[in-house]
Amino acid sequence: MTLFTGLVIAVILAAACGIIARVLKQPTLLGFIAAGLAVGAFGGIARFNIDVIDSLSSLGIAFLLFLVGLDMDLRDLRHVGRHAVIVGVGQVLITSGLGFALSRALGFGNTASFYVAAALTFSSTIIVIKLLSEKKDLKSLYGRIVVGVLLIQDFVAMFILLALSGSGGPTWFTVPISLVRGVIFGAVMLFASRYLPKLLDWLGHSQELLYLFSIAWALGVSALAASPLVGLSIEVGGLIAGLTLANSSEHFQISSRLRPLRDFFVMLFFFGLGAKLIFSAGAIMVTPLVLFTLFVLVGNPLVVLLIMSVLGYRARTSFLASITVAQISEFSLVLIALGYRLGHITSGEASLVTLVGVITIFISSYLITYGDTVYRSLKPFLKLFERHRTRAEEELPQEKFAGHVVLIGAHRMGGTILTALEAAGEKTLIVDFDPTVVRLLKSRGKAAVYGDITDADIREAAGFKNARAIISTAPDFRDNVAILEAARRSNPKTKVILTADNEREGHKLYEIGADYVLIPHFIGGVELAHFILKNHDFKGLAELKRHDLEVLRGVA
């Protein structure tokens, strides 16, 4: 089989399996691993030039870590909250320690246990951020904590990558040498990068030259790091190459240009992992596979749950944050591949961790997506982890509201609605899951509650039973269905106004009993159409603009 034919097969299978993964609401990297498994399972690997694929996938790892370094800013650590640091550092220390102890108890050597413990410690920043963005939970309290924890993990992983890149395996002697080499090499590269901004500014006038220079810099520094002169690895070189350009004015442009190239070669990396996995399947022991998988799916979340419980968070916040660490990251797979390539671990050990990654990523994606549903089913048990008087979160208000309007979401559109409700003399209680917004509202003397309205405790605190009206500006369809159902159970006479992303969802909300549905772009179009019918010459635009600016100043 020629290289061209092999690459065509890899790309077609990866695309097909990636589409299937997307349909199953899974990360595409699982589809790429599955494509490699399919080639290996049907004997294609015997005809497939896997050595060439390995070489090409090394380019993907260099580009992957180059872009990780490019987007990494050491100054970001200053903006991480104190509790996020405590949770992040605590999780890394406890999980890595327990992971090492478990590996040793299962008969793995010290070097292999180091690699396994490191791999089991880190969670996928890419997958978690993507899923939280889709849930619109990034700005929630638990979302902010999770982002901080992932940032801590990324920086720790960077130093572990340096420590494990020595040629003799991680020992008390080689680890310090690797770290010193990495620090010296990084310092030299950072010093050299001081002279790059002017060059990049000049190259920025030519997209082609900037593109080619970025590739040359990423691969050149990676190759230099892996050379006998420096004695590190391609992975470390790619990361340092990215860090040297992280503060350049062109780094966003470089990142956007290289991302498609990175995605192609990273696809080959995961394809190669899957293709080689089939050969080691017989050597994988079932007991370590089951225990490591349970450790990641149950043990990692339990560690975060306990830390956040001690800090004084409510059960729901702690649980939703904890399930985000119930998978190992693509960074973990890169570390394991590095260990295998350097001869620190066997192919069976590498395949074992890869399988744990596939299983945990698959299951945790659903856990994160349907976290609220899982929480409701486990709520009686999880309440055992909640302190009677929380310290990290505000106590729910004890005041009993009646005859009021519950406004869910007070940012943007909600701010305009709040202004109108106050002008009309309505008693209003605001519920928002962004703690920053809640603090701002309270500083202005407004009645506001932090929390997710799908939480029964929050609905009770908001006084759903006695509310005259409930207005939700949250566009999430499932949340709005839950709000409507809870409102009807509490008080059928309460007027319920919801928000929909599109006409189809708006129609469904009307079908299940909403009194009115806000469809922002639809309403905006209707309003503009009415204006055009009344003002064919558009002379009223100035007055309309003046009115809108007054409203915007009032909610800014």
pLDDT digits (tens, 9 = 90+) for 60-101: 778 888 887 777 665 555 555 678 888 989 999 999 999 999
Task: Name the more confident of 320 and 546.
Answer: 320
Q: Output the average pLDDT for the chain.
A: 80
pLDDT per residue over 196-228, tens digit each? 777 777 777 777 888 888 889 888 888 888 787
Q: What is the pLDDT of residue 398?
A: 59
Q: Which residue has the tokens 């890899």?
A: 10
Q: Which residue has the tokens 């990494």?
A: 72
Examine the pLDDT at 327 and tell me if it is beyond 60.
Answer: yes
**pLDDT band, very low/low/confident/very high, at 465 (cuts 50, 70, 90):** confident
Q: Which residue has the tokens 């065509």?
A: 8
Main-chain phi, psi angles of 499, to 5 degrees: -120, 140
Is domain 3-385 given the CATH code 3.30.200.20 in the classification? Answer: no
Would you give the distance in Å from CA 207 to the centre of its chain?
A: 30
Examine the pLDDT at 167 and tell me if it is beyond 70.
Answer: no
Contact 159, 335 (CB under 8 A): no
Q: What is the pLDDT of residue 284?
A: 61
Q: What is the pLDDT of residue 106?
A: 92
Q: What is the pLDDT of residue 195?
A: 74
Average pLDDT of the residues in 483-499: 89
d(CA 166, CA 117): 18
**Beta partners for residue 516, in sequence order:** 497
Contact 50, 275 (CB under 8 A): yes
β-strands 428-432, 448-450: how paired?
A: parallel
The CATH code for residues 405-518 is: 3.40.50.720
Q: What is the pLDDT of residue 324?
A: 92
Q: What is the pLDDT of residue 102?
A: 95
Contact 221, 232 (CB under 8 A): no
What is the share, in percent, of the chain residues with pLDDT greater than 70?
A: 85
Neighbours of 379 (CB within 10 A): 15
Contact 241, 15 (CB under 8 A): no
**What sign does the dihedral 20-26-27-32 (CA atoms) show?**
negative
* Consecutive H or E run containing 448: strand 448-450
Q: Which two tokens stand for residue 321?
A: 């944050």
**pLDDT band, very low/low/confident/very high, at 36 (cuts 50, 70, 90):** confident
**pLDDT band, very low/low/confident/very high, at 388 (cuts 50, 70, 90):** low
Residue ranges matching CATH 1.20.1530.20 in the chain: 3-385
Q: Which two tokens stand for residue 332?
A: 């973990």
**Who's near 102: CB < 8 A, 6+ residues apart?**
291, 292, 295
pLDDT per residue over 502-516, tens digit each? 888 888 999 888 899
Question: Which is nearest to 36 in space by CA: 22, 59, 60, 57?
Answer: 57
Task: Select the highest-mean-pLDDT range: 69-73, 157-161, 347-351, 352-356.
Answer: 352-356
**pLDDT band, very low/low/confident/very high, at 165 (cuts 50, 70, 90):** low
Contact 465, 472 (CB under 8 A): no
d(CA 301, CA 141): 17
Neighbours of 108 (CB within 10 A): 21
Q: Which two tokens stand for residue 501?
A: 């992303």
Contact 290, 352 (CB under 8 A): no
Average pLDDT of the residues in 457-481: 85
β-strands 516-518, 495-499: how paired?
A: parallel
d(CA 199, CA 210): 9
d(CA 198, CA 200): 5
Task: Name the more confident of 228 and 483.
Answer: 483
d(CA 98, CA 120): 10
Q: Which two tokens stand for residue 37?
A: 């498994």
Taking only Cα atoms into account, the Rg of the chain, rounded to an integer number of angstroms, comes to 27
* Type of residue at 133: S
Sheet-wide strand order for 428-432 = 448-450, 428-432, 405-408, 469-472, 495-499, 516-518
Q: Which two tokens stand for residue 383?
A: 């309440």
Q: Which two tokens stand for residue 250?
A: 């062109």
Average pLDDT of the residues in 154-166: 74
What is the share, in percent, of the chain residues with pLDDT greater than 90?
A: 13
**What sign does the dihedral 267-268-269-274 (CA atoms) show?**
positive
Average pLDDT of the residues in 123-133: 81
Residue ranges matching CATH 3.40.50.720 in the chain: 405-518
pLDDT per residue over 6-22, tens digit each? 778 888 888 999 899 88
Q: What is the pLDDT of residue 96?
A: 93
Question: Which is nearest to 349 in space by CA: 160, 514, 108, 528?
Answer: 108
